[in-house]
Amino acid sequence: GAGVSQSPRYKVAKRGQDVALRCDPISGHVSLFWYQQALGQGPEFLTYFQNEAQLDKSGLPSDRFFAERPEGSVSTLKIQRTQKEDSAVYLCASSLAEADPLPNEKLFFGSGTQLSVL
Amino acid sequence: GQQLNQSPQSMFIQEGEDVSMNCTSSSIFNTWLWYKQDPGEGPVLLIALYKAGELTSNGRLTAQFGITRKDSFLNISASIPSDVGIYFCAGRMTTDSWGKLQFGAGTQVVVTP
C-alpha cells in the first residue's frame, strides 16, 4: 500500500509479557517516528529515527521500551514485561523530510496498534 | 505529560457555523501544526506554521502562529458534517529535536445538521 502500515492492528497481552509492534513506513521516507496515544489524549512522542540512526529517544518512558530500525526502513517497537499503564495506541509516522524542515513538511501517520495489557 | 493547553475540550455546533479553537503554552515554539484525527485512524496534517504572526489558510481552515510564539489558533468556517472529528494542535519547542512534537489533548468537534 501507499501509506504507513502498522501491525498488528490490535494486541492483547498479559501483564509481564513482551510485545513487538511493527511499522512499515512509506517507501523512501527517511524519518520515522513512534508516538504513544492514551485514551482521550493527544499523541506523546517516544522516539525518532533518521534512516537507521535513532536521533532522539527522550520520550521512551522506561528501559522496558526499545525501538530499532536496523536497515533504515521497517521499525519495531518492543515493550518488555508489559504493565497495565502501557495500554495505549502506538502510532508510527514517517516523513520524507530530514533534520531541516521543508516548507511542505508532513508526517504521515499509520492507523496505530492498540495495545491492551490485562 | 503534555505541555500544550488546548481549548475547548469539545464543541457541539450546527452545520454552517464557524468553529474556533486554540492552544497555549508556557514555552516558546518554533513550529505550530494542526491535525485532525478520525476514529481508528492516525492524525492527518491540516496546516503548518513556521513564523510568528503567520496566518495560513487551507480551504475553510485558517490558522495563526501567535506573535509571542506561545500560542496558535485554528478557525473552521461554515462547518459541514465531515468536519466531525478530533482536532489536535502540535508544536515543536525550540529546545527539542526536530523529530519531537508536543501535542495538545484535542478538541472534539461534533456537527449537527
Q: What is the pLDDT of residues A19-59, one digit of tens each?
A: 999 999 999 999 999 999 999 999 999 999 999 999 999 99
- More confident: A101 or B69: B69
CA nearest B103 in A: which residue? A42
CB of B103 less than 8 A from some CB of A = yes
The percent of chain B in helix, strand and coil, each rounded to the nearest 5, is: 5, 55, 45
| Alpha carbons A39 and A15: distance in angstroms, whole number | 19
What angle is formed at CA B37 by the lines to CA B33 and CA B38, rounded to 5 degrees?
160
Nearest CA to CA, how far is A116 from chain B (Å)?
Answer: 15
Q: CB burial class (10 A; 0-12, 13-18, 19+) of residue A75?
A: buried
Task: Measure Cα distances from A5 to A1, A9, A24, A69, B54 in Å.
Answer: 8, 9, 5, 15, 34
pLDDT at B97 over 90: no
pLDDT at B24 over 90: yes
pLDDT recorded at residue A102: 58
Mean pLDDT of chain A: 92
All three cell numbers of B5: 493547553
Contacts of B102 in chain A (CB under 8 A): 45
pLDDT recorded at residue B1: 54
**Contact of A2 with A105, CB cutoff 8 Å:** no
CB contact under 8 A, B100 and A58: yes
* Confidence tier at B99 by pLDDT (50, 70, 90): confident
Count CB neighbours of A103 within 10 A: 7
Contacts of A4 in chain B (CB under 8 A): 42
| Alpha carbons B109 and B60: distance in angstroms, whole number | 15
CB contact under 8 A, A50 and B42: no
Cα torsion through A14, A23, B45, B101, rounded to 10: 70
pLDDT recorded at residue B57: 95
Closest CA to A51 of A70, A66, A30, A27: A30
Q: CB burial class (10 A; 0-12, 13-18, 19+) of residue B94?
A: exposed
Q: Which of A100-109, B45-54, B61-70 has the lowest mean pLDDT?
A: A100-109
Contacts of B104 in chain A (CB under 8 A): 42
| Alpha carbons B13 and B52: distance in angstroms, whole number | 30
User: If you count DSSP H runs as helices and E runs as strands, how many of each does chain B have, helices first?
Assistant: 0, 11
**Contact of A57 with A68, CB cutoff 8 Å:** no
Residue B81 DSSP SS3: helix
